[in-house]
Structures are given as C-alpha cells and as structure tokens.
Structure 1
Amino acid sequence: MIIKNDEHEWFPSIEEYTPGLSVEDWLDLLNDPEVFDENSLTVIKAFYDIGGQATCKELSIKYGKDPGFYSMISKKLAKRIHKKTNCPLINDDLKENAEWWTILYVGKEADKQQEGVYIWKLRDELKEALYIQASSAPKAWLLAWNPNNYDWESVDDQYNYYTMLKKVQNGDKYTEAWRCHSTKVKSGDRIFIIRLGVNPKGIVATGYAYSDSYEKNGTRLVDITITDTKDYKSEKIISQEQLKTLFPEQQWSPQASGISIKPDAAQWLIDNWNKTDEQPIEIISPSNSEFLKYFSPLVQALKELGGSAARKEAHEKVIELMGITDEELSVTYEKTGASRVINQIDFARNDLAREGIISNGTKGVWALTELGMIIDMTMELAGLIHMKWVKINAAKRKGEPIPVIDLSQYYKKQKDHKYTKNDFLKEVFITESDYDKLRSLVIRKKNVILQGAPGVGKTFSAKRLAYSIIGEKNENRICMVQFHQNYSYEDFIMGYRPNDQGGFELQSGIFYNFCIRCKENPDKPYFFIIDEINRGNLSKIFGELLMLIETDKRGERHKLNLVYGGTSFYIPENLHIIGMMNTADRSLAMIDYALRRRFSFYTMKPAFENADNNGFGSYTADIDCKLYHSVISKIIGLNNDIRIDTTLGKGFEIGHSYFSPEDISVINDEWVRNVVEYEIIPLIEEYWFDNDKKLDEWSKALYQIIGEKYDS
C-alpha cells in the first residue's frame, strides 16, 4: 500500500501536478536499460538508500560526486521517461525550472540546519516500485563451517560431510538445518558454505535456503538444500585468500554463520563456481613475495613510455611511479651489493616475460606484447602468475609432468572499443566536412600539426583523430610524448646512457622503439603524437631521420645508417605523426623552414559559435546553469576583441575546452566562477600585460558577471 506524502508541505501537490505513472509503470521503467542507465540507477538508489529524500549536497557528502551530478542525471532521466511514456509535464507557471525534476520528485526548501538548499523526495509510486524491486531480488548468504567447532566429517551417517558429497555428486539433493545468525534469510535465497579454521579454507558447497530462518531450542537455524559441492581434498576450491583479494570490503572470516554477501561478490561466486576444475592455483600473499607489488607499476611504466624502453629507463619510471626514495634504493643484498628494489623489479619482469606480457625480443629492451598493452595488471593476477611459474619450474626440477595452468579467465583487459567518425564528431567540436578534410590530410601527408589558441582541444582531438582512423580505441598503436627545449636525439632515437656498472651502454629511444612496433604490423596505421612540438629543436631531435619522415621517403628502400652503432633504419609507411602547437606562446620563435616543409598545418578554432548538430551548442543545451551561459556569451565578445587586437590576433583567442569538462554534471555557479577567476583572467593578464586600459575593461566585465568585486 502506498503511503501518501504530507501534501501540504511538498511541491507540487497532487492537485497541482502528477506524471500519472503507477507503481507498475515505474517497475517497467526501472527494468528498461534505455531509460534507467547506470548513472540513473546510482542516483535514484542513492535517494532510496538515504531514506527517500535528501538535498543533492547531502547525497554528495554521503556518496561522493559533485552535487550537480545528482541534479543533472535526474534531469536527463526525466527527459527519457517523458519520451518513453509521454507523461504530462508540469505547468511552467507554477514554479521556474520545475519542468523535469517533478516527474521524479516532490520538493521543498531545506531547513537552515541541513546541508544544501532544496530537498527532493522520491514520488510515492517510484519509491514503492524501488521497494518491490529490492524486496524481490534474491539475496545470497555466507554460512560458515569450522571443523574445529563442528566435526561435520564424523557426525552420524545421515548428516555427515561424506554423505552430502556422495548424494550431491550422484545428482541428488542434500538437505540439512544449518546455524544462521541472520533473521533475514528467506526461502529461495542463495547460500554458500565457507570452510574456515583449517586449511584449505574456501567455498566448499552452494545451494539454496528452503525455509526462512527460524529459532529452535534457543538456536537460530535455516533449512538448506545443497545442490553442488567440491571435495576440498581432491578438487580446487575458491580460496578464502582469493576472495579477500578480490572483494576486500566483504567479510570472509565471519564470527557467526549466516552473513549477507554483497551483490558484486555474490554474482562473482555464481559466475565462477564451476570454473575451478583446472590445475589448483593459490593466490600468493604480497607479504610473502615482496616483488609482486612491482608487477602493476612495471606494466604501467612501459605503457607510459610508449610500450617499450631500455631496462634502466624502465627502472627509473617504476621508481618515479611508486615514489621510491633514495633511502629505499640504497638497501642492498649483503652478498652481491645489488639494489634490492632494482632486483625486485627484474624479478617481476622475468615472470611477466614468462607469461607473455613482456616480450623476450630485443636485448636490453623491455617491450610490452599486444596482451601487455591491454591487460589490467592487478595484485591478484600478479600472485597467480608467480605461483603458476613456481609450480611449473618445480615440476621441471623434479622431472614431473608440466602442469597446464591457463590464467586467461583471470585476465581483466582494458577493452578496445570501436571508435568511428561519428564518435569523433560527438566529442570534438568541428563540422563533418572539416573532419573529412583533416582525416584526408593525415592519411595523405602522414605528418600534420594541429595549431591553435589555448583551450581549443588540440591534445584532446589528436588522440581521438588517431582512434577514428584506427577504427577503435587501441592504445597499443598510439604513442605520445611532449617536447621541451632540452629534448635530444639520444632521448628520441638512440644514444649512450649510464648503466648500473658505472659505464655506458647504447640504448634505443622512444621513437626508435615505436617504429619497431609499427614494422611488426605493417598493414595497420600507427600514430606518434608530439605535444608542444615547436618547443623542441626538430633538427637536433630527429637528426638524420628528419628527411625520412617525409611522405615519399618512407619505407625500407630509403633506409640509412644511424649515427650511433651504424644500424640501418627506416621509418615505416604506416606511421603517422601528429604534432600540437600553441599559437599564443610568445616565448617561442617562429618554427623553422625544415619543420614547415615536412608537415601540413591545420588550425583549430574556438567552437563557441559552432551551431552544428554535433557542435558546442548541442553540448551546452542541457546545461542548467544561467551563469555558465552568460559567461559563454561574454567570452565570445572577449574573443572578438582579441581577434581585432593588432598585438594579438586570432591565434590568441580563448578556446572552448576551458568550459568543456569531461563530466558535465560538475558545472554549477561555483565551478564557473573558479574557471573565470583562476584560468581566464590570469590568461588575459598575460595577453594585455602592456595594455592596462584593455586589461581593466575586461577584468572588470568578467568579475562583474560572476558577482565578484574587481580591484584594479
């Protein structure tokens, strides 16, 4: 039965407006993923879990995310509901900006004691539907068996462990009453029995409750039916240690039998219960093998270095990522004097190479394989890999059969998503015809520089342009670097660097290594992206290869010998170079002719006035913040002034990226004020450092629009 809101306090009252959606309607909508997407469910269930009513500020404090996230997602959800159901909308005369949220909520002003300004309360029918949905979802429970407390293996024949095993393995059901602390277990709920106290510890049986929990002779019990089991003496079980690693927030050593299992952990147990018949594999504890903590940073380091690096460079990047101190680096082994940290990184590399995540190719170069570039290296997977090779090597030493251990089911990959022209146009504010021109330019010339004012999205666009030509988000085929004034040929191509023995060794650079990777897959396009390309000395950095980047100088027929080592080298035809250049950087001289001749230049412009369907206007249409739109209008005027200023010009205009956060829900008055005061005004102070009149005019105008006082 629906309990009605106290109508005299909340807006709108039933007389003023109702969307006319029944509990059944809401249940249908909740089960429709096109209406209730992941973000929508997060927001609505946050309201439900907190008691059905809250300010967005209260939700932000309790569940995280900016308050604007909850209002923005609610608005978008309400629009989808209206489109799906054609439900009526409230009369706009009753309350300003109430058109959408009133489909989902009723509201009122918050008390002074509350965090936030306005309280939203779930509509009664929606709240009832959420209650039904939550009540009807089967729960999962963890029942405990500790052999130290209950000798299940030795009780009378009818109810002992071996009787259970035999019955279940013969396809029969086994029923028994089991201790259960919780009063909330219901008939039909899923149960898992975990063996505790004595090794091996882990899940040994699963089934269902066939009664609600009940009390008998002072003990709370539940009747269970065991439908599947594992003989822990001869079969692999899902270990307690593995569960602790995968789901650390779940209790896996319960003091009492019968605790609830969190939904994500329960689903994993259901999905993986029958995937445990392979060679037994334990999770190795990080405390027992110190070097396991280096697996993930090493993979990440190589990804950030473009997929491959010399051993010493890889060491340095791992040390940087992990924040390892000089004091930690100075700890050595007594016998050899070798650094313990460096040794542990090398151990990690050896295991990763055995598993096929790092290549065993070029001597002195550590390179990620295709698998290595897409895998998500976790501590759990590190333990699995190490234990796999411990077992294999032990079998080899003993002359025993080599165990076959397939870890592919444990790989969590960073999925490569398809990425098309349409995806590009949804994210980058240029017209379709401009995209076609730019794409054609990259494919034909192979070397293109995206130039433009600050904030026009050069870096953002470069990567997505590469994705759109590749056809998917594939980081393995993209490498990105940033040039600076000290960047050298030795960093980029090849050079001698200090080694651990106090001498020098010849090491290849990031561009050289990326070219090697391109050559391994000549039919696929690869992209080398250079940020701040005009900050480096191109002739110095590319050296003798500057000529080879030209379109008609690509391929093996144009190979030449490198300065170091005399190695012959060429730039593959499937490599494309995209550079980015800030046209407002007055600290740099004009780029030299050698660069201009070898690259095409594409100018990116601010998109504030782009009215295309996929343009900035479409992006801002759903932003419910008056200050944001007022500031955008003011920025358009500011850009007009910058454009006609003879000391500046269109290369100094302010770009749209300043006002295009990845998460649109963060946009509110406070966010806009921060962007204007701490990003835009400092920029124009730099532009008009020698024009006080113009600086005062625009600083005053910007401070005024955000409601702040300007002190000249």
Structure 2
Amino acid sequence: MFINNTAKLLKSKHNIILQGAPGTGKTYNTAAIALSVLGIDGVDLDNHDEVMKKYEELQDDRIFFTTFHQSLDYEDFVEGLKPRVQSNENGESLGVTYEPEDGIFKRACNAVVTDDSKDIIECIDDYLQKIKGFENRREIPTVTGKSSLYVWWNEGNKTVSSRSTNSTSQREESYSPSPLNIEKIKAQTLGKGCENNWQQYAQAFIEAVKNEYHAKTDKSVVLIIDEINRGNVSKIFGELITLLEADKRDKGNHPIKVTLPYSKTLFGVPSNLYIIGTMNTTDRSTGTLDYAIRRRFAFVTLKSDPNVIVKHYEKLGNDDLKAIAIDLFNNIKAFITNPKHLCGDLCIDDLMVGHSYFMVSSKEELQCKVEFEIIPLIAEYINDGILTVNDQEKEKAFDAWASLQPVQIVDDEDEDNIDEEDE
C-alpha cells in the first residue's frame, strides 16, 4: 500500500523526497517505487530480490541513479565543458579541445524520447545504409540549429564521417576531421555513455535519425537522487529549478524551455521524468533545501517501524532474537524521547534509529550492529547537542546496550520521587 500510494503521489507531483532517520528504508524503497511508477508488471514489489533484479535490468535505460555530495555542481549534473583529445581516422592526435558533455540529469531527460514501434538502434543501422558512401552524404543541422554538417558512412568503418559545412580545411572534400564512433553513438542514444570526441556532433546525428524515423514516442524515466540534501541543490539544478514543476514540463499547462549555457541548445524537462530524492533528516551539517526547492517536491516521511522488525523475525522463525531486538528498539526509543534528553527542533521521527539496524540473522550480528552502528550514532547525537545526556547516563546506557540489555530510563518525575525517598 505504501509503495502504490507513494507512486501515485509521484505521478501527480513528479518530484518527491523520502525523508527520515537513518535505517528507515529510504534508499531501499526507491527501487520498488520506481518500478511502480514506470508501470512494470510481473514483479512482486514485496519481494526485494525480485525488485532489484528488474531494477538492474532497467538501470541507465529507464532508471538513473546518482548521489549528491558537497563537490557536485551544475557542470556534473546537467552539462559542462570537458576536455577531449581529438584524433583523426588514423589515430593521430589533433590536440585537445573542450566540448559540452551531458550530465546524468540531461541524459535521463534525453532517455525519455525513444521509438516505440521500432528499436532506435535499428533506426541508426538503417540510417547508415542510407548515407553509405560520400556521394550519399546528408546535410543535417547541428544541435544549436545555427549551422550544419555533412555526415556519411564508408561501409566497413566503425565510425561515421562528419564535417562541418563551414569547414575551412584545404584537404579533399571527403576528408572527415571529426569521425564519430558508431558504438558510442548508440550508447549516447540510450543514455549509457557518450561519443568521447565529438559529443555534440553525435547528438546532431542522433536527432537526424529520430527525425528520419519519427522516433518521438515517450517512455517514462525515473531519476533517483540519494542524499539529496548533501549537495547545494539550488547550485546543482541552476535555472532548471523552474522547469521541475509539473506545469512547466514539456506537456504541462505552461511549458518552458531555457537555453543551456554550454551547448547553447533549447532544453525542457519532459513530463515523463520522475524524480525520487532521499534525505536523512538528522543530517544538518551540509546543504539545506530552500523554499523554492521544497515547493517543487512532495515530502514522504518514513518512520522507524517495529512491525517491520517483527515480520523479519517471524520470517526467520526466531522468536528469541525477535524479543531481544524489540526490547532494544523500545528501550532506545524511550531513551531518545525522554524529555530530559530530547532538545532542539528535531522530533522522534527525525532521530529514532531505523528498524533496519535491528534486523539481523544472529545474536552476534545484532551485537555487532549495536556496538559499531547504533551506539556510535547515538553518541554523535549527544556530541552534536541533539540529545542532552550526562556522561554517567551515557556510559550506563551504552554498556547495557552493548550487552543487548535494556537500560532503566529515569525521567524528571522519577528522579523527584527518588530524591523524596532519599530524604
């Protein structure tokens, strides 16, 4: 029900962010949500192994994945200038130039457009037969539309010959100063790579093939952005922030296109592109999402759920380990929610240790997770001032949890009663 409801929300909003504490299954659930919104049939969305198998088949075709970090910028995500070593048909170096290269966001957008009646790769092969030999060359527009180039194919070659119509080369007319690798053209068409030397010429060739065969049928594509709040989102998306809104997409009520700074091409975000972000709500040390970004995303909170832990151990058939894990879960939750400890603007849904930390196959594995994952995480909360705990309480709790034992939680009222008894 959660997967289906979230997929419906994504279909409507186009952009969602799964937010929650560590270990609540944010990244885990993105695969199933992606398959659901793409309308993939024949997959049991409750079977994670089955989901991941189909997910991997669709990766870099209909599902794209990236992780934001502090060093990521617009040039990596949308498009940027990248150095290219130029070479001729004999493999001789012609020097280095800087060519626009598509980032994962632009590649995901381009992957939306394909041919439904005929495979696009077959279209490329057919087009090569039409331009076989210099005498059958075609003049095609560049991606900017401001000039054009000749393209032709010499049978048996692994490259498509191309030459700008504005070329001032003194060599024979059939000389190709910018050969395009055919396999890399096909990879660029599918969003799985790019033509290393002449990416923009390759894109012009791809557009010519699409126009030749009217390959304009849409397919849905999902872009997953893990840890979306760890990057400077406004800087990474740049002017494309406006285009994320559903009504600003290419089939929206108010479609908008912008001219990209490097390729100088008009670019719009397709309506069939869906973005799923994940956000760790406890991570306040890096980038934040401003109101402009928040307005364009719907936020779905994943809570730490003890029922998931129960189902895990019922499937394993290990009631003893289930009892230990649930006791620890409840005890740690009581420790975090203790009015003495909790401070600041974070709530339990932001802080509670996720259920995945308590889902193991043996007592030794649980002890290892507690000692090396759960305790360090709560220690970090305390060090950052998110939880106010004195050294004595901290040491007592950590020692008990390391032994897989709950610790007695004392709140202000209990302390008052203890003080009265002492008097």
TM-score relative to the length of structure 2: 0.59
Indicate which of 202, 225, 231 corresponds to 1:536. Answer: 231
CA distance, structure 2, for counterparts of residue 463 and residue 558 of structure 1: 30
Whether the 8 Å contact between 1:481 and 1:531 is mirrored in structure 2 is yes
Q: Do structure 1's residue 600 and structure 2's residue 330 form an aligned pair? A: no
**Is 2:360 the partner of 1:670?**
no
**1:529 and 1:579 in contact (8 A); partners too:** yes
* Residues in 2 aligned to 1:524 and 1:698: alpha-carbon distance in whole angstroms: 53
1:638 aligns with 2:335: no
Q: Within 5 A, what are the aligned runs for 1:158-177?
A: none
User: Following TM superposition, by how much is the alpha carbon of 1:499 offset from its aligned partner in structure 2, in angstroms?
Assistant: 2.0
2:403 partner SS: helix
- Following superposition, the deviation at residue 513 of structure 1 comes to 1.1
Q: Distance in 2 between matches of 1:659 and 1:531?
A: 22
Are 2:219 and 1:524 aligned?
Answer: yes
Q: CA deviation at 1:604?
A: 0.3
CA contact (8 A) 2:15 2:296 kept: yes
Indicate which of 479, 495, 507 corresponds to 2:101: 507
* Separation in structure 2 between the aligned mates of residue 505 and residue 515 of structure 1, nearest angstrom: 20
Percent of aligned positions that are identical: 40
Match of 1:568 in 2: 266
* Structure 1 residues 467-510: Cα deviation after superposition (integer angstroms, max 9, x where no partner): 12222533331101000111111111111112223332221111
Helix, strand or coil: the match of 1:621? helix
SS at match of 1:576: strand
Matched residue pairs, number? 265
Does 1:492 pair with 2:62?
Answer: no
Larger RCO: Structure 1 or Structure 2 (Cα < 8 Å, ≥ 6 residues apart)?
2
1:499 is paired with a residue whose SS is strand
Say whether the 8 Å CA contact 1:450–1:458 is kept in structure 2.
Answer: yes
| 1:168-247 map, 5 Å | none
One-letter code aligned to 2:356: S
Change (3 A) 1:495 1:622: closer
Contact 1:688 1:694 in 2 (8 A): no
Change (3 A) 1:616 1:702: closer
SS of the aligned residue for 1:564 comes to coil
Larger Rg: 1
Correspondent of 2:320 among 601, 626, 630: 626
The alignment partner of 1:498 has SS state of strand
Counterpart in 2 of 1:682? 376
The secondary structure found in structure 2 opposite 1:529 is strand
Q: Which amino acid aligns with 2:403?
A: Q
Quote how far apart the aligned CAs of 1:628 are: 4.8
Specify which of 456, 462, 469 is matched with residue 24 of structure 2. Answer: 456
Letter of the 1:463 counterpart? A
5+ long unaligned stretches in structure 1? 1-431, 662-666, 708-712
2:400 pairs with 1:705: no
Partners of 2:268 and 2:36 lie apart in 1 by 26
Say if 2:325 and 2:358, in contact at 8 Å, map to a contact too. Answer: no
Match runs of 1:162-561 below 5 Å: 432=1, 434-470=2-38, 471-472=40-41, 473=54, 474-475=58-59, 476-500=61-85, 501-520=95-114, 522-555=217-250, 557-561=255-259
In structure 2, C-alpha distance between the alignment counterparts of 1:438 and 1:505, rounded to whole Å: 39
- Normalised to the residue count of structure 1, the TM-score between the two structures is 0.36
1:523 Cα deviation (Å)?
4.3
1:652 corresponding residue in structure 2: 351
AA at the equivalent of 1:552 = D
1:95-134 alignment runs, 5 A limit: none
State the Cα RMSD in Å: 2.2
- Cα pair 2:328 2:405 within 8 Å, conserved: no
Go from structure 1 to structure 2 and tell me whether the alpha carbon gap of 1:502 and 1:629 turns closer, same or farther (over 3 Å shift): farther
For 1:230, the equivalent position in structure 2 comes to none
Task: Check the 8 A contact 1:628/1:672 in 2, yes or no.
Answer: no
Structure 1 runs of 4+ off > 4 angstroms? none
| Structure 2 counterpart of 1:603, one-letter code | T
Distance 1:436 1:509, change over 3 A: closer
Structure 2 gaps of 5+ residues are 42-53, 86-94, 116-216, 407-423
* Kept in 2: contact 1:483–1:533 (CA 8 A): yes
Matched residue type, 1:674 = C
Q: In the alignment, is the contact (CA less than 8 A) between 1:673 and 1:706 conserved in 2?
A: no
Letter in 2 for 1:484: H
User: What is the aligned partner in structure 2 of residue 412 from structure 1?
Assistant: none
Name the amino acid aligned to 1:493. V
Q: Deviations over 1:503-534 (max 9, x none)?
A: 32221111111111112265432110001111
Contact 2:114 2:219 in 1 (8 A): no
Q: What are the superposed Cα offsets for residues 627-656 of structure 1, whole Å, 9 maximum, x if unpaired? A: 453133212221233235124531011101
SS in 1 for 2:271: coil
Structure 2 distance, partners of 1:577, 1:630, is: 39
Deviation at 1:619, TM superposition (A): 2.4
SS in 2 for 1:541: helix
Find the residue that maps to 2:336 and give its secondary structure: helix
Residues 447 and 576 in structure 1, CA contact (< 8 A), matched pair in contact too: yes
C-alpha distance in 2 between matches for 1:625 and 1:555: 54
Q: Which amino acid aligns with 2:26?
A: K
